[in-house]
């Protein structure tokens, strides 16, 4: 009988073990996708638009882009959308520009800039808004300086395509000025893209005939030998080519340390741009890498606030632990035991309060900020009617290729925009 019970028990345990093993699932975190970039692979198509010329490629404005991240779960979605409005507008504006929708791009970018640039946070203001028991992301998104600079660069390009060189100039100047807000001089970054485009618009603005701008560039920049390839060759029919590649930096909060904002670089395959016209080709290096711009700007005022909050939280917990131990000892002493108990409760209240102190940095970001900017200015007559743009990687492989269909208006400035996402 005892043996019988023993066998039943062991069989039962065995069945249970088998059943538990059967519920263990194989992990679903291995990947078996195809690889596209290889030495002999044909290049991908590079979508190229001449802003304001040709059809609109997509109706970006009709798409709602939800973004409920960062504002916490307690907020109503409507409020969250309001807080994140600038993110949506900025992304919609950039997307519309790449879709050759000048009207949609200008509307969205103007609104985004109004929200992002309408209020400059001073140190005092930032501290006032950094409520102790609230996260940074519970405020209206205004973007970091590199994001605001990118907004202004895109807006300037749209103005330029509209033939409004003066407003374009103001936008490129604003893009450059976004760096003037860093507290330390050594943290102020320089946007070569903004500088080059600003210079171009300056040349355009001072010359009503818009014929001599290239000579102006030659005399001002070329004389110093600092003009990028291609610029000195532009004479009569200017073509501005702006190519963006990859994905911009990702924001991450150092939640586990001091809460401050840090940036992660998203790698891109692109290494250089080739512009091939009828009279040869020009290789362009990136003029800007937004990750570098973002990561070299030093601490924000808000980071100091977050570090302070993290320190207070840690202090509360440490003090709570110490008082807790002391209270425990005191509570064991006759006649003063109640004081010890009170100390223990106070210590635990302090630790409880520390849990409500959030020092997380705001990680909302404009997702369409690129990893690299390439800027080329050439002469339409030298480029021919259908010049090609090629994205090349470090191993000299052509990753993507696109053709520019230049309009047949020799006296008009053409703004070409292309995007390589990988």
Partner 1 sequence: MLACQQSYMPINLYYDVAVRATGGGGKQIALVKFADMREDVDSVVFECNSTREVVGRARIPGQDAGAWVTNALAAELSQGGFRVATYSDAPGAGEPVVVTGELYEMYYEWHKPVTQYCCWWIALIGSAWETTRSWVKVQVTVEKGGIPIISSQYMGRASKSGSANRQDVELSLDKALQDLMKKLVPDVVAAAGL
* Residues at the site binding partner 1, with contacts judged by CB under 8 A: 24-37, 42, 44-47, 57-60, 62-63, 65-70, 73, 87, 91, 94-95, 98-99, 247, 250, 252, 255-256, 259, 264, 266-267, 269, 310, 313, 317, 348-349, 351-352, 354-355, 359-360, 363-365, 367-368, 399, 419, 421-422
Looking at beta carbons only, is 232 or 363 nearer to partner 1? 363
Looking at beta carbons only, is 34 or 40 nearer to partner 1? 34
Q: How far apart (Å, rounded) are the C-alpha atoms in residues 259 and 262? A: 9
Q: Is 91 exposed, middle or buried (0-12, 13-18, 19+ CB in 10 A)?
A: buried
Instruction: Using alpha carbons only, give the angle 185, 190, 196 rounded to the nearest 5 degrees.
Output: 150
Looking at beta carbons only, is 163 or 356 nearer to partner 1? 356
Tell me the closest approach of the beta carbon of residue 34 to partner 1, in angstroms.
5
Tell me the closest approach of the beta carbon of residue 407 to partner 1, in angstroms.
20
- Torsion sign, CA atoms 351, 355, 357, 358: positive
85-98 and 102-117 helices cross at what angle (nearest 10)? 150
Tell me the closest approach of the beta carbon of residue 129 to partner 1, in angstroms.
21
Helix (H, G, I), strand (E, B) or coil at 15: helix
Q: Are 160 and 168 in contact (CB under 8 A)?
A: yes
Tell me the closest approach of the beta carbon of residue 199 to partner 1, in angstroms.
29
Looking at beta carbons only, is 99 or 413 nearer to partner 1? 99
Looking at beta carbons only, is 3 or 32 nearer to partner 1? 32
Looking at beta carbons only, is 257 or 285 nearer to partner 1? 257
Q: How far apart (Å, rounded) are the C-alpha atoms in residues 356 and 362? A: 17
Tell me the closest approach of the beta carbon of residue 163 to partner 1, in angstroms.
24
DSSP state of 296: T
> Cβ of 75: how many Cβ atoms within 10 Å?
16
Tell me the closest approach of the beta carbon of residue 293 to partner 1, in angstroms.
18
Looking at beta carbons only, is 31 or 335 nearer to partner 1? 31
How far, CA to CA in Å, does 420 sit from each of 35, 59, 104, 413?
17, 20, 21, 23
Helix (H, G, I), strand (E, B) or coil at 12: helix
Tell me the closest approach of the beta carbon of residue 266 to partner 1, in angstroms.
6
């Amino acid at each position: 009988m005892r043996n019988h019970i023993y066998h039943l028990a062991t069989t039962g345990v065995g069945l249970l073990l088998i059943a538990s093993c059967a519920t263990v699932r194989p992990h679903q975190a291995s990947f078996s996708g195809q690889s596209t970039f290889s030495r002999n692979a044909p290049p991908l198509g590079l979508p190229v638009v001449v802003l304001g010329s040709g059809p609109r490629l997509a109706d970006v404005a009709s798409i709602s882009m939800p973004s409920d991240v960062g504002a916490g779960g307690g907020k109503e979605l409507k409020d969250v959308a309001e807080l994140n409005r600038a993110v949506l507008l900025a992304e919609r504006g950039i997307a519309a520009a790449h879709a050759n929708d000048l009207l949609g791009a200008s509307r969205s970018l103007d609104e985004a800039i109004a929200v992002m640039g309408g209020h400059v946070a001073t140190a005092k203001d930032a501290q006032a808004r950094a409520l102790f028991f609230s996260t940074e992301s519970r405020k209206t998104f205004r973007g970091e300086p590199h994001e605001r600079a990118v907004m202004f660069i895109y807006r300037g390009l749209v103005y330029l395509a509209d033939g409004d060189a003066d407003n374009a100039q103001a936008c490129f100047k604003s893009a450059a000025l976004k760096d003037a807000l860093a507290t330390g001089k050594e943290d102020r970054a320089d946007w070569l893209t903004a500088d080059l485009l600003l210079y171009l618009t300056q040349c355009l603005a001072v010359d009503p005939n818009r014929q001599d701008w290239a000579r102006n560039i030659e005399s001002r920049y070329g004389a110093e030998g600092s003009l990028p390839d291609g610029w000195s060759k532009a004479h009569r029919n200017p073509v501005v080519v702006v190519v963006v590649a990859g994905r911009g930096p990702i924001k991450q909060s150092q939640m586990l340390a001091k809460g401050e904002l840090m940036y992660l670089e998203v790698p891109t395959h692109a290494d250089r741009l080739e512009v091939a016209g009828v009279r040869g080709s020009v290789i362009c290096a990136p003029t800007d890498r937004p990750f570098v711009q973002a990561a070299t700007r030093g601490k924000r005022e808000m980071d100091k606030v977050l570090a302070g909050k993290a320190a207070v939280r840690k202090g509360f917990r440490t003090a709570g632990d110490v008082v807790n131990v002391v209270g425990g000892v005191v509570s064991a002493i006759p006649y003063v035991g109640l004081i010890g108990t009170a100390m223990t409760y106070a210590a635990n209240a302090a630790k409880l309060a520390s849990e409500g102190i959030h020092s997380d940095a705001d990680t909302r970001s404009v997702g369409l900020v690129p990893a690299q900017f390439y800027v080329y200015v050439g002469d339409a007559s030298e480029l021919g009617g259908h010049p090609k743009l090629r994205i090349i990687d470090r191993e000299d492989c052509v990753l993507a290729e696109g053709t520019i269909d230049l309009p047949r208006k020799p006296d008009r400035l053409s703004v070409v925009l292309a995007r390589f996402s990988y």
